[in-house]
Structure 1
Amino acid sequence: MKNTPISADRSRPTHAKAPDSMLEQQVQHLLVAVEHELRSSSLGIDELSLIKKLQKPPWKLIGELEFHDTQKLYPVHFLLFHVLYRLRDTLAEAGEKLTISPMRIGIERQDTIGGNGMPGTVDSLRSFYLDLSQYELPEDSINQMMDNFWAGYKGMAPSRPETLQAAKVLGFDSVPDSFLTVKQAFRRAVMQAHPDRGGETEAIQSLNEAFTVLKAHFSQMMEQT
C-alpha cells in the first residue's frame, strides 16, 4: 500500500467513505510510524519534532507544511492527535500510558495497580480528536480550537515535565521564578530566531508553544495564591 503524505494544500477527503478510504489508510500508516518514533524517544517528544520525523524517511507521511499558518497546520495537527488518542486507547489495554500534551508526547508504564489504564472520566479532548467530522472546520472554529489547545488543554495546568521542557526550549535549566524572566527570554529568543536574521519559522513556532505553556503555568500559580 503506497503512502500518501498528508498535505495541507491537497483536497481533504470526505468522512462518509468506507473505513479503507484514503483517510483511514493515512491513519493506519501514522499509527505504525508514531508508535515507532515514540518508542525510540525514551524521554518523550514534542509535537513539532514528531511532525518533522514523520516528514522524513523512512516515513514521508507528512508533506511540506507552513508551521505559522494555522489553517494549513490544523489538518495535520488534528490527524496526528486523532492517531495519538487511538494509540493511547490501544496501549492502555496493555498496561502502558501515553502522555499527550503540547510539549511532551511519550509512552510509559502505568503507575497504578489493576485496571486497564483507560480514562475514568469524560475526556473532552479525546472525544474531539476521535471524531473525524472535526477534521474539517470553519476558519473561526479552527482558530478558537487552536487557542484553547495551546492555552493548556482548556484551562488545565501543564504538567511538571511539560513545564520543564518548555523552560528548556527558552534556554533555562529549570523553571524560572517569575513570568517576567520568561517574557524577557522569549523576546530575546524570538529576535534571534526571526527569519530576517537567518532563523526558521519552525523555531518561532516552538518558542511560541513553550511560552504559552509557561504562561499557563504561572497563571495557575497566581490562581493558587
Structure 2
Amino acid sequence: MNNEFALEMDLAEQILLLLREQPDGCSEYQLIQQLKARHSTHIPNLPLHDKLVLFRTHFLVFNALYHLRDRLWQQNSHCLQISPLCVRLLPYVAATSEVSEPDPLRAYYLDMDNLRDTDEQEVERLLASFWSRMRGDYQGEPQEFWSPDQKRAALELFELDQDESSLNLPIIKRRYRQLVSIHHPDRGGSTTRIQSINLAMEILQRYYQ
C-alpha cells in the first residue's frame, strides 16, 4: 500500500485518501507527518527545522489542497476546509460552497512561480508566521492548553527524539543552548530563527518542567 500511495497517486489524491480516513480532520502538521509516514514522493522527506524545507513542504501541500478543493467542488462531492490548524472534508452544500469572491490565498498557492521565486528573506517571514500559528490562541495559558502538534513541531525543530522515555528538561535545555549558540544573530544567524527557537523552548519547558 505504501508503494502504491507514493507512486500511483498525485499529492491531492494522497491527501484525499488521508482525509477520508479522518472525518474530524487534522492539522497541516499532522497531514505532513502522515504523508511522510506513507512515503509520499511529492513532498521533501526531510526535517521541518530547515526553513527552506519547511516552506517548500508547506507550499506543495497547500497547492495540492487548493487543487483538491476545486476538483471536489466541480464534482459536487465535498467542500474542503483549508487551514493550518484544521484540514477537513465537509459535506457539499451548493448554497454555501461556491466561491463567489476572489481568494488571494488560492491564487498565491496555485502560482508555482511563488515556489520557485521566493527568496530567503520571504521564507524567514513565513517561518515566523508558521511559529505564530503554532502558538495559536494559547499564549500565557497553562501547560494543558498547548496542543500535541505544537510539542511535536518544537521537538522536530530541536531535532530531538520524540520518544518520551529518552527526554528530560536538562537534555532539552542543553540542546536549546546549542541552537542559540549556532543561530544567534551576533554569529550570523537570524532573529526569526532565534524567535522560533525561543518559542519552541517555551512550549517544551511547559511540557517537561
* TM-score, normalised relative to structure 1: 0.55
Q: Does 1:109 align with 2:91?
A: yes
- Once the two structures are TM-superposed, the CA of residue 183 in structure 1 deviates from its matched residue by 7.5
Alpha-carbon shift at residue 46 of structure 1 (Å):
1.0
Deviation at residue 89 of structure 1 after TM alignment: 1.1
Q: Determine the C-alpha separation between the residues in 2 that align with 1:36 and 1:184.
A: 31
- Do the aligned residues in 1 keep the contact of 2:27 with 2:87 (CA within 8 Å)? yes
Distance 1:150 1:123 in 2: 23
Q: What is the alpha-carbon distance in structure 2 between the residues aligned to residue 140 and residue 58 of structure 1?
A: 30
* Residues 1:119 and 2:95 aligned together: no
CA shift for structure 1 position 51 = 1.2
Letter in 1 for 2:114: Q
What residue is the counterpart of 1:216 in the other structure? none
Distance 1:120 1:145, change over 3 A: farther
1:31 to 4, 8, 12: 12
- Please report the TM-score for the alignment, with normalisation by the length of structure 2: 0.59
- Partners of 1:46 and 1:151 lie apart in 2 by 15
Equivalenced residues, count:
158
Taking only aligned residues, the RMSD between alpha carbons, in angstroms, comes to 4.1
Q: Structure 1 residue 92 and structure 2 residue 82: aligned?
A: no
Provide closer, same or farther for how the CA distance between residues 69 and 39 of structure 1 changes in structure 2, counting only shifts above 3 A.
Answer: same
CA distance in 1, matches of 2:16, 2:104: 23
Distance 1:184 1:53 in 2: 24
- Give unpaired runs (5+ residues) of structure 2: 176-195, 204-209
How many Å separate the matches in 2 of 1:120 and 1:146?
Answer: 31
User: Please, which runs of 5 or more residues in structure 1 have no aligned partner?
Assistant: 6-24, 153-162, 168-175, 212-225
For 1:150 and 1:118, the matched residues in 2 are separated by 31
- Take 1:108 and 1:128, find their aligned partners in 2: how far apart are those partners? 23
Q: Is the 8 A contact 1:55 1:61 kept in 2?
A: no
Matches within 5 A, 1:58-97: 59-93=40-74, 94-97=76-79
Question: Match of 1:130?
Answer: 110
Partner of 1:198: 167
Seq. identity, %:
24
Cα distance 1:185–1:104, how it changes in 2: closer, same or farther (>3 A)?
closer
